[in-house]
Chain A
Amino acid sequence: MIEEIITSGRMNPEIDPVLHVWGWEIPFYLFLGGISAGILIFSAYFTLRNRQDELPVAVKWMPLAVPFLIGIGLIALLMDLSHVLYFWQLFTNIRWESPMSWGAWTLGIIMPLSIAWIATWVEDIFPKWDWKFDEVKTVINWLKNYRRYMAQILILLSVILGMYTGILLSAFNARPFWNTSILGPLFLTSGLSASAALISFFSKSEVEKRLFTRIDIILIGIELFMIIHLFMGHLAGTQVHIQAAQMFLGGAFTVPFWVFVVGLGLLLPVVLEILELKHKFIPAIVPVVLIVAGNLMLRFIVVNAGQASRWLY
């Protein structure tokens, strides 16, 4: 028997009895950041492959949502800061050891870059669009010449944006459940999967719909593989990692994770998407809602489970 009593009342708010300093704001931002990254990666990649006219929703339309998604995410992040008036300190320091620092810088660059990226496509999707000022027109026409370079930088930054949220969590060795390097790739893949599902939902062209449904099926397969790997890694780890995994294998997170994230968020939609490809009638809204909700749930569960896992001493 081991009994540990903390007397003299360490009951620090948000720390005891279980750490819960990060509420809904952080997982909500991780979700929006992941989807934004996915949208930008697809848009930039298919531009580099010269398929912008064949895949208009993926390349031209979906990026329109990105500044709003990132903007809402940033508001959530600011709401989480408890000393918010000092947030500018993020941009007077660069700390390579802190994923949060390079995440902040990546966001600071990707936000204006995604707006510039959209600006180069606006005239394609709204033929009657008028920029009003000649100077703006000149700048945008100039930017259009550098679209390929922009696309390359966007892919690089979006991969960082999609991965750093996971790496940020995995850098906390104090929370064994997060302390696995697979979280970065897992978050990137799930962000890509949600944006692929959204693209195929909004697309009106059969070619684009089918392409992104196929991409999504592959991504969900990779995601399932990574989830299995995550638990294999933990179960082969130290006692604290095994205990962290057991929260999902019989513990408090078992049902929310395996039923809602894996069952309803990954397995069911992948079956529906396969049926869709086989020309069975599936209401298009069903798989996309399941995937997006599963995505959001995955981040909430990962953030909460990490805070619930700890070293024992």
Chain B
Amino acid sequence: MRYAMAVDTLKCVGCSDCVVACQTENDVPIGHCRDWIVEKTTGTYPELQLEIRSERCNHCANAPCVRTCPTEASHYAEGGIVLVEESECIGCKACITSCPYDARFIHPEGYVDKCTFCIHRVEKGQNPACVSVCPTHAMIFGDLDDLNSDISRAMATRKWKSLIPEAGTDPKVFYLI
């Protein structure tokens, strides 16, 4: 089991529904977010290109946050999902500084918080909240080890990229381009 997510940048319109769904589903404290939208414009006017991405924790297979955590609070759960165990987190923030995606933040209660791929939903066979609400069906969640899963099919048939693969983190959130 290797859970992964793909975001279709050709379908994403940047509506932020995924962000709101996450905040509602996971009771994310006000002023914080576990996922966010990036609009990237490249080129010189009038030749401009726009890419819209819904971003979150990349659930890296070689996660620097798990490596630098002194207490094993940051760990790999089932299917490679990277989680933080609140009762083991001391709030040293080493994981925050080790994340090249800046995907983590300090929860007002003191421990470090981030995207969980909605593991509580995934365990029940449901999609993460962000995926389930996407109005343009731009997001796909699934198991890379299952070659017939939607995500495996998308990765096999579409061009894709991941974010800063050169950081050596082996991210598991992909962008279809």
B121 at the interface (CB under 8 A from A): no
Q: How far is the CA of A302 from the CA of B61 in the complex (A)?
A: 29
The reply to whether B102 and A16 form a contact with Cβ atoms under 8 Å apart is yes
A10 at the interface (CB under 8 A from B): yes
Q: How far is the CA of A82 from the CA of B90 in the complex (A)?
A: 7
Task: List CB contacts (< 8 Å) of B119-177 with chain A.
Answer: 163-164, 166-168
B96 at the interface (CB under 8 A from A): yes
Q: How far is the CB of A132 from chain B (nearest CB, A)?
A: 38
Q: Which residue of B lies closest to A175 (CB)?
A: B97
Range, interface on chain A: 35 or more
**Across-interface contacts of B83 in A (CB, < 8 A):** none
Interface centre among B68, B109, B112, B167 (most CB of A within 10 A): B68
Q: How far is the CB of B87 from chain A (nearest CB, A)?
A: 7
Interface centre among B32, B71, B112 (most CB of A within 10 A): B71
**Across-interface contacts of B98 in A (CB, < 8 A):** 171-174
**Across-interface contacts of B96 in A (CB, < 8 A):** 14-15, 19, 21
Q: Which residue of A lies closest to B52 (CB)?
A: A7
**Across-interface contacts of A278 in B (CB, < 8 A):** none
The reply to whether B70 and A22 form a contact with Cβ atoms under 8 Å apart is no
The reply to whether B88 and A89 form a contact with Cβ atoms under 8 Å apart is yes
Given A81-B92, A98-B68, A101-B70, verify A11-B41 contact (CB < 8 Å).
no
A5 at the interface (CB under 8 A from B): yes
The reply to whether A311 and B91 form a contact with Cβ atoms under 8 Å apart is no
Interface centre among A9, A21, A81, A97 (most CB of B within 10 A): A21
Q: How far is the CA of A263 from the CA of B90 in the complex (A)?
A: 38
Name the contact of A6 in the complex, choosing from B36, B44, B163, B168 (C-beta under 8 A). B36
**Across-interface contacts of A15 in B (CB, < 8 A):** 96, 102, 104-105
Q: How far is the CA of A52 from the CA of B91 in the complex (A)?
A: 43
**Across-interface contacts of A84 in B (CB, < 8 A):** 90-91, 110
Other than A14-B96, A16-B102, give 16 A-B pairs with Cβ distance below 8 A: A4-B41, A5-B38, A8-B19, A12-B33, A19-B97, A83-B109, A84-B91, A90-B70, A90-B90, A92-B71, A97-B67, A98-B70, A101-B71, A173-B98, A310-B100, A311-B167
Sampled A-B contacts (19; CB under 8 Å): A3-B40, A5-B38, A5-B41, A7-B38, A8-B14, A8-B19, A9-B36, A13-B32, A13-B105, A16-B102, A82-B106, A83-B109, A86-B91, A87-B90, A89-B90, A101-B70, A172-B68, A172-B97, A313-B164
Residues of B near any A CB (own CB < 8 A): 14, 16, 19, 31-33, 36-44, 64, 67-73, 86-94, 96-100, 102, 104-106, 109-112, 163-164, 166-168
